[in-house]
């Protein structure tokens, strides 16, 4: 049996391999879970097993639409766009063809939540009337963004969360001399995401970003200046960074133990404390909204500037 080489996926691999060998695998799988835990690698492995291939048929680390086999059709959106109904119709046409050679015919959609509403409705046809020996693999970070009609017709496969100790142990085997704590924290606990963050130098960059937020609160710089200095960064990384910083600040305000932010917060009136906490949670909602559209926003710099305005002159003071 081929392997994803991710130890936390081994129990799921064994379960899926048994279903594939016995012909009991569901024809539509929705692979979801925490970012950086190997969802796409798991889907690529399933495609390889269904094809009975010794070589990868959909390299998990390559471009989303790279395929190495005629009976595999990956569908992914163009940069900055949603996955159109035309692309899904191409996928359906592929699924209706006869299989070339032996093995199953497999289609993959990644990320599945990038489908337009029309595209999702079009996909329902093939989900409701599956062809023999054909399978559809959907990969999603946030399946809640998918229509309920799509979710109800798929078997949900959750990529398991990885404990901090297990993630650090695995990362240490990849690069023993690296300090993985900060990268793993920035990745939200996902080992593969932490690996990429470290490779891109974003764990070091985050220290500079923290200093820039502090400068914003002192009015030493403007939101636009900071946003322009972040324009080379992935928008998702910026959103995740701001979410963690805001959540930590709210936690400091409301913590039982004493800290500098708690001391300043505790001398305020009860009404002002309530308003600041409410403001903080509105900011978290805004960051999450921005994160959901990060693949499709036409002006990332403007979107980040709007979020950074909440930090100018002191987080929680712009009521």
Cα–Cα dist 176/171, whole Å = 8
Q: What pTM was computed for the model?
A: 0.84
pLDDT tens for 221-239 read 999 999 999 999 999 999 9
pLDDT tens for 9-38 read 999 999 999 999 999 999 999 999 999 999
> Domain 7-161: what homologous superfamily?
P-loop containing nucleotide triphosphate hydrolases (3.40.50.300)
Whether residue 245 is predicted with pLDDT greater than 80 in this model: the reply is yes
pLDDT band at 85, cuts 50/70/90? very high
pLDDT tens for 246-290 read 999 999 999 888 888 999 899 999 999 999 999 999 999 999 999
Cα–Cα dist 108/45, whole Å = 12
Average pLDDT over residues 109-122: 93
pLDDT band at 63, cuts 50/70/90? very low
In the chain, DSSP assigns E strands to: 28-33, 72-75, 105-109, 134-140, 155-159
pLDDT tens for 182-204 read 999 999 999 999 999 999 999 99
Q: What are phi and psi of 77, to 5 degrees?
A: -75, 155
Q: Helix or strand or coil: residue 108?
A: strand
Taking residue 240's Cβ as centre, other Cβ atoms within 10 Å add up to: 21
Q: Is 33 left (phi over 0), alpha (psi -120 to 50) or beta?
A: left
């Amino acid at each position: 049996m081929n392997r994803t080489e991710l130890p936390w996926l081994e129990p799921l691999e064994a379960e899926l391999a048994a279903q594939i060998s016995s012909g009991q695998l569901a024809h539509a799988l929705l692979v979801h879970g925490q970012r950086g835990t190997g969802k796409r690698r798991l889907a690529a492995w399933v495609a390889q097993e269904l094809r009975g291939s010794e070589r990868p048929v959909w390299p998990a680390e390559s471009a989303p639409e790279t395929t190495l086999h005629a009976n595999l059709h990956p569908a992914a959106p163009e940069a900055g766009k949603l996955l159109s109904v035309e692309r899904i119709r191409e996928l359906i046409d592929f699924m209706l063809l006869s299989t070339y050679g032996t093995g199953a015919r497999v289609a993959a959609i990644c990320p599945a939540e990038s489908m337009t509403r029309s595209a999702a409705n079009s996909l329902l046809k093939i989900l409701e009337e599956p062809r023999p020996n054909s399978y559809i693999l959907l990969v999603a970070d946030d399946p809640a963004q998918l229509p309920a009609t799509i979710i109800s017709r798929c078997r949900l496969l959750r990529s398991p969360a990885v404990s901090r100790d297990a993630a650090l142990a695995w990362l240490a085997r990849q690069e023993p001399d690296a300090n993985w704590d900060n990268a793993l924290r920035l990745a939200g606990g996902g080992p593969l995401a932490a690996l990429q963050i470290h490779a891109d130098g974003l764990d070091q960059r985050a220290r500079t970003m923290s200093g820039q937020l502090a400068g914003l609160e002192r009015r030493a710089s403007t939101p636009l200046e900071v946003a322009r200095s972040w324009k080379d960064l992935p928008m998702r990384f910026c959103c995740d960074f701001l979410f963690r910083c805001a959540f930590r600040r709210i936690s400091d305000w409301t913590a039982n133990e004493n800290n500098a932010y708690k001391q300043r917060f505790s001398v305020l009136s009860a009404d002002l404390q309530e308003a600041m906490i409410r403001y903080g949670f509105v900011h978290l909602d805004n960051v999450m909204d921005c994160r959901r559209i990060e693949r499709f926003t036409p002006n990332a710099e403007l979107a980040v500037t709007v979020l950074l305005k909440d930090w100018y002159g002191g987080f929680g003071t712009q009521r």
